């Protein structure tokens, strides 16, 4: 049985995820298309992924991220009915390390990344990430200048790190809150014992009422 406070915590978390997740998928889709599908030099690497579907389950996020690759763009979805060519279970810090393809084997061996399906999809995606230019200053410099681009780049990196930490803390807080609520909730034996005690007290009250009624009857008779 859920207590009102635990139900409120769960509802708040669900509503928060419902608002946050579409923003996250839209941001990732825009960022990945900008980074991976603008440079002509990356076209051969992109073509190797065309037609592939990659499902990513992050420990910090409830719903999966589904990446659908084509020769012109990548779509990031939260729901997809068809089976993925490759499924990956990992964490946000481990996912960020895939930008260096040399880290892939180490991440798998440590268990930081668990892969099911076509291993080549992960290898090709990691290679594409490694080849791309991830520094936002590189893309902003032609429009705002080198100094302003570097400042914006630092702000974006700080903001992303803050968002990741906030999301992780929210999940940890929810888990701790639910655990505390469950620990405070009475067990089946405790409920049964309490019910027996209540019945015993009720019987004692009934006996007392009968005795008082008998005493009142004797008093009235006298």
For the segment 173-199, the average pLDDT, to the nearest whole number, is 69
Given a contact cutoff of 8 angstroms between Cβ atoms, the answer to whether 75 and 67 are in contact is yes
- In this predicted structure, what is the pLDDT of residue 9? 44
| CA distances (Å), origin 173, targets 22, 89, 92, 170, 195 | 22, 22, 18, 5, 34
The three-point CA angle 102-104-105 to 5° equals: 95
User: Could you state, in order of their start, the residue ranges of all structural domains in the chain?
Assistant: 4-176, 189-221
Question: Which CATH architecture is the domain 4-176 placed in?
Answer: 2-Layer Sandwich (3.30)
Least Cα distance to 36 among 160, 151, 126, 154 occurs for 126
pTM, rounded to two decimals:
0.55
Reported as a single tens digit per residue, the pLDDT across 51-86 is 999 999 998 887 889 999 999 999 999 888 889 999
């Amino acid at each position: 049985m859920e207590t009102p406070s635990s139900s409120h915590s769960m509802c708040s978390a669900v509503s928060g995820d419902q608002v946050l997740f579409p923003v996250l998928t839209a941001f990732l889709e825009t960022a990945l298309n900008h980074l991976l599908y603008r440079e002509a030099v990356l076209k051969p690497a992109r073509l190797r992924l065309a037609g592939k579907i990659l499902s990513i389950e992050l420990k910090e996020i409830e719903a999966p991220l589904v990446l659908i690759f084509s020769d012109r763009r990548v779509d990031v979805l939260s729901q997809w009915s068809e089976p993925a060519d490759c499924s990956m279970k990992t964490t946000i810090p481990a996912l960020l390390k895939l930008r260096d393809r040399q880290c892939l084997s180490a991440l798998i061996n440590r268990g930081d990344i668990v892969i099911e399906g076509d291993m080549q999809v992960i290898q090709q995606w990691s290679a594409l990430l490694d080849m791309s230019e991830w520094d936002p200053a590189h893309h902003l410099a032609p429009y705002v200048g080198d100094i302003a681009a570097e400042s914006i780049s630092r702000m974006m990196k700080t903001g992303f790190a803050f968002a990741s930490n906030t999301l992780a803390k929210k999940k940890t807080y929810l888990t701790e809150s639910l655990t505390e609520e469950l620990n405070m909730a009475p067990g089946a034996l405790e409920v049964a014992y309490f019910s027996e005690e209540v019945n015993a007290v009720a019987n004692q009250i009934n006996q007392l009422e009968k005795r008082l009624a008998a005493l009142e009857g004797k008093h009235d008779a006298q």
